[in-house]
């Protein structure tokens, strides 16, 4: 049985969210986690990143509305 089809993998897939992060320097990162424990820092410039979007296990997408307005997040 492959890992993808194992009960544990299926369980994890049903509870894990995907988070998209971005830094003001342009660096982007994708994180898969049950929940966000802490805001990640940018690997390039060491500043705190901001969340661009999150996708829940059932496929629902949340977008950071401030990014849709003018591309800047404060």
Task: Give the interface with Zn ion as residue ranges (CB under 5 A).
Answer: 23, 25, 27, 42, 44-45
What whole-number distance in Å separates Cα of residue 74 and Cα of residue 59?
Answer: 27
Considering the complex, state which of residue 50 and residue 53 has its C-beta at the smaller distance from Zn ion: 50
Q: How far is the CB of 13 from Zn ion (least distance, A)?
A: 30
3: three-class secondary structure by DSSP:
helix
Considering the complex, state which of residue 12 and residue 44 has its C-beta at the smaller distance from Zn ion: 44
Q: How far is the CB of 43 from Zn ion (least distance, A)?
A: 8
Q: How far is the CB of 40 from Zn ion (least distance, A)?
A: 11
Considering the complex, state which of residue 23 and residue 51 has its C-beta at the smaller distance from Zn ion: 23
The residue assigned the tokens 């496929």 is 59
Burial string for 11-41 (b: 16+ CB within 10 Å, else e) reads eeeeeebebbbbbeeeeeeebeeeeeeeebe
């Amino acid at each position: 049985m492959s890992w993808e089809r194992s009960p544990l993998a299926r369980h994890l897939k049903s509870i894990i969210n995907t988070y998209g992060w971005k830094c003001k320097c342009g660096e982007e990162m994708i994180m898969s986690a049950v929940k966000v424990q802490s805001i990640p820092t940018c690997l390039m410039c060491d500043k705190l990143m901001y969340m661009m979007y999150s996708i829940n296990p059932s496929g629902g997408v949340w977008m950071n509305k401030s990014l849709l307005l003018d591309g800047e997040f404060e």
